[in-house]
Amino acid sequence: MAEPNVLIIGGGMAGLTAALELARFEVRSNVVESSPFAGGQAIGFSCKATSACVRCGACLAEDRLQSAVESPEIRILPSSRLLELSRSNGPFSAVVLRSPRVVDPDLCTGCGRCVDVCPEEAVRRAPSPYNRPPLAVDLDRCARFAGGDCTACVDACPESALAFDRGEERLALEPHALILASGFHVFDPREKPYGYGEMEDVITNLELERMLREKGGLVRPSDGSPPGRIAFIQCVGSRDERLGHLWCSRVCCGSAPRTARRLRFLEPELDVTVFYIDIQTFGRDFESAWNELRREFRFIRAVPADAVPTENRRVRLSYFDPETGSPDSLDVDLLVLSVGITPGRDLAGTSALLGLRRGADGFVEAGDSGNPPAGVTAPGTVLGPMGILDAVKSGKASAWRTLENLGMV
């Protein structure tokens, strides 16, 4: 087989790791990424270190992305999706549809003048400097794609990197193997009665990650003031029979305490309460860490009934206190919802295209006979919730199985 190449759907931790491992074996890959920026959810995350590393693995996102972008064996195709797939005896035939590329990745320097001039706030800055290009136009917001004739960004660009005459592209590929690593969908907490979308100071854990990454500290979105008391609600959209989400999202029991410690490290007086059901594993030092954490923060084993605004613009949580056996309430300045990991929105379609079976929960079933079909592997959160380090390891395992499929090991 001459020059084997692999098509990877999804440029997050699992997909990029698979691509990097294949590159070690001189196997080329095309990474189809649906968003304008590769790196997955993790590329928007922040470091949780206190005086030492706490093993959250968020720094690996930068590592994976930079290495993949710089690898000659890897081509990342942002704003793209798999449109068609067929297979006869030889390699697969795939058609990838790429959205119009307004920003030329070779010319854009990321100066951000287009961001400043866009009247629709449609130009987005990539989460990482290693994204290529480092800026992208959100076609859903851009006036040009709604039939307008605005050229503000094109006119402002000193590098002539922006153009509207580059149409949609169809790329015909002939991969010898496929890897489905399209990741997960973040649960929308508007389905829960915690005032998300109504109260500005109710945010998700992912928004908190981005805030720490981009601002370096915690403030209330409503007025920019530092909060004195915050709460986390765990399992929002997970372990929830009414939603039909009969699974644990696995990562939040690790991320909430780590984040709380980071916040306390930045602001020693910060008051933190965590509402939880059961604490799952969060690290290899679980027992000692769990005992310490219960001294550092208030852990309340309850699922709050709701969150409502108070007169002085705080967030009031109502819950049943298991220690006293009576209803209680807690007013906080900021509420963080640890939102669940759910199957990707396009996973049903893509997995059908690839011939992958899904379980009752909607995630891809791993390892059964005949699933996945020959030449196809599926690593990372398409299999179910997992954290960064597990997704990386899953991507490595997938690369091995792909090399086996290619007869290379």
Q: Which of residues 14-53 bind another protein (CB under 8 A)?
A: 21, 24-25, 45-47, 49, 51-53
Q: Which amino acid is at 82?
A: L
Q: Which of residues 86-105 bind another protein (CB under 8 A)?
A: none
- The residue from 174, 191, 278, 306 that contacts another protein (CB under 8 A) is 278
**Binding of another protein by 275 (CB under 8 A):** no
Q: Which of residues 342-361 bind another protein (CB under 8 A)?
A: 359-361
- The residue from 149, 367, 368, 374 that contacts another protein (CB under 8 A) is 367
Q: Which amino acid is at 81?
A: R
Q: For the CB of residue 66, give the shortest distance to another protein in the complex, in Å.
A: 7
Site size toward another protein, by CB under 8 A: 77
Q: Which class for 26: exposed (0-12), middle (13-18), buried (19 or more C-beta within 10 A)?
A: exposed
Q: Which of residues 185-244 bind another protein (CB under 8 A)?
A: 213-216, 239, 241
**Binding of another protein by 306 (CB under 8 A):** no
Q: Which class for 190: exposed (0-12), middle (13-18), buried (19 or more C-beta within 10 A)?
A: exposed
**Binding of another protein by 160 (CB under 8 A):** no
Q: Which of 222, 294, 308, 229 is nearest to 257 (CA)?
A: 294
- The residue from 19, 60, 137, 335 that contacts another protein (CB under 8 A) is 60
Instruction: State how far the Cα of 225 lies from the Cα of 220, in Å rounded to an integer.
Output: 5
**Binding of another protein by 59 (CB under 8 A):** yes
Instruction: State how far the Cα of 261 lies from the Cα of 115, in Å rounded to an integer.
Output: 34
Distances (CA, A) of 115 to 87, 164, 357: 43, 16, 42
**Binding of another protein by 55 (CB under 8 A):** yes
- The residue from 128, 255, 259, 350 that contacts another protein (CB under 8 A) is 128
**Binding of another protein by 327 (CB under 8 A):** no
Instruction: State how far the Cα of 394 lies from the Cα of 117, in Å rounded to an integer.
Output: 42
Q: What is the DSSP letter of 146?
A: G
- The residue from 32, 74, 108, 126 that contacts another protein (CB under 8 A) is 126
